[in-house]
A = this chain, B = another copy of it.
Amino acid sequence: MSGDALDAVFAALSDPTRRRLVSRLVREGPHTATDLSRDLPMTRQAVVHHLQALGDAGLVDAHRDGREVRYRATPEPLADAVAWMLDTGVRWDERLQRLRTQVEARPRPPR
């Protein structure tokens, strides 16, 4: 996944409304924007914008059905974001481990 795509995923998830939308779509399956906006303190248009941000990140897709548009969670891109974090975490652990080894290999200071 390109850096830009990773940008979009992290940016999309940095907003609590958007995380909530993803959670709900994951738990309950597809919904329309109008439906999703019913229990959120904002207009349908605001929700649509959030869904578009999620769509740009590949976390959601839209499917037209008659006059309705159903949004569905597509959480695959989460895997790339998790991979970046785990990789970073692992490198950090390795570095800690190296430091620990150096400390242990150092001769005791005279006392």
Residue among A3, A10, A78 with max Cβ neighbours from chain B (10 Å): A10
Chain A positions 31-67 with a Cβ under 8 Å from a chain B Cβ: none
Q: List 28 A-B contacts (CB under 8 A).
A: A3-B16, A7-B14, A7-B16, A8-B14, A10-B10, A10-B11, A10-B13, A10-B14, A11-B11, A13-B81, A13-B84, A14-B14, A19-B84, A23-B91, A26-B88, A26-B91, A26-B92, A26-B95, A27-B91, A29-B95, A75-B89, A75-B92, A78-B88, A78-B89, A79-B89, A82-B85, A82-B86, A82-B89
Given contacts A26-B88, A78-B88, A82-B82, 16 further A-B pairs with CB under 8 A are A6-B19, A7-B14, A7-B16, A8-B14, A10-B10, A13-B84, A14-B14, A19-B84, A22-B88, A23-B88, A26-B95, A27-B95, A29-B95, A75-B89, A78-B85, A82-B86
